[in-house]
Structure 1
Amino acid sequence: MQQLTVPPDLAKSVIRSNMTLICIFIPVLWLPNIPLLINALSNQDEGNATIPLLMLSLFLLLSVALVLGTWLLARLSVRKTRIEFGDGQYRFVNWGSHDRSVSAASIERAVLVEQMGLSGTNPTHHLIVLGRQGERLTHFVGQMFYRSQFHAVVQDMQANGAAVNVFNEPITPPQLRAIDRRLLSWRRAYPFLFALAIIGPLLVLVIIALIIVFGFITQR
């Protein structure tokens, strides 16, 4: 069995990218709460700013936890993610997503996408494997593997009877999904709509809760 792991230089790049994103996300997350905190502090009598300071401490602790959690998860992801293949058997370990072992007979086709960006990232290569039962067996993104690694896996699948499709021209996620819905989930094809659907309501609830809390504090 051959085993393909995340090369060290790509692993460092993945961790760095994740840390950059979380450091951008944290200020955006807490920005709506700054005026509320300032208002609460300005309305406190001298020596009676305990609750606002506790809220500020909580914000800082949560921010540190988000940064450390992102760093830890990124390290685990690049260490655990791998592809194993040989003798018509394949194991796809996409840490945090799935660990799947399949035979060549259960693979309908392998799809190589040479240039496609996800969630605003720079276009890169992708390996997508579809099963004969209509499922998507795996999807690996080029940030973690070289093109040559993907080509080695695809050549082995083709030698074992799987069909292969290659998209050499740049393509967008919605275009790929339009070709075959199994190739890409809607949340990856439309990441901003997905993010709004998840984060939007939560952010509104957080802001409403903080307004109620600070309103109660300032009335004391």
Structure 2
Amino acid sequence: MMSTATEPNHLTKEPAFIGLVTLSTAVSALVSPCLLYFGQVFAEVTPSAILTYVVVALLGAMLGMLNVVDRATRTIPNRILIPFALAIVPLVVAQTVITGDWLKLGLACAVTAGWFALTLGYTLLKPSSFGGGDLKVMPLAMLPLGLFAYWVPLVWVILSLILASARSILHRATGDGKVPFAPSMDIALPVTLGLFIMTSSMSFLPTL
């Protein structure tokens, strides 16, 4: 069937699509905070711990929503990113104000900025590598993940790239086009947090 420019917009108004987006958003918003809770990352409930749960839930909700939207439309709309950014970034700052660990925030910002510069430069050289939406999502997710430890956002983005590469190989084998990146980022989030939980007891790795 011939595709048209109006198909994605029409699809996003379908009840089934809206229901799928809602389900994916809810599941992703619950999985990561539950991992932190049952993994006993925090010894006690503190304001900082509560903010971490909220930020991770928001991050999961954003990636879960984009998972479905990016698959269907091959776009990452600003109308989704901006509200999440306006919620996540102030909470990250608030958490740092509570803990007083500005060094950790500084490292998170440095890692995030460094990766953004690297991927932006690579995209300018090879425009087909990342979309503009991907370049926006990565730093927005990496910043809060950097508050766990400076290496956590790097693990997340590397896992995302590995998953995306694997999916790309499968898609090429079946003759499909370019794969969306958001689903890989969504799957990589709980995997990364699971790895963080597993390694948090190792003295040679920095933790919260």
> Could you say whether these structures have the same fold, taking a TM-score greater than 0.5 normalized by the shorter chain as the test?
no
TM-score by length of 2: 0.30
Instruction: Determine which structure has the larger strand proportion and give its number.
Output: 1
Higher helix share: 2
TM-score, normalised via structure 1 length: 0.29
Larger Rg: 1
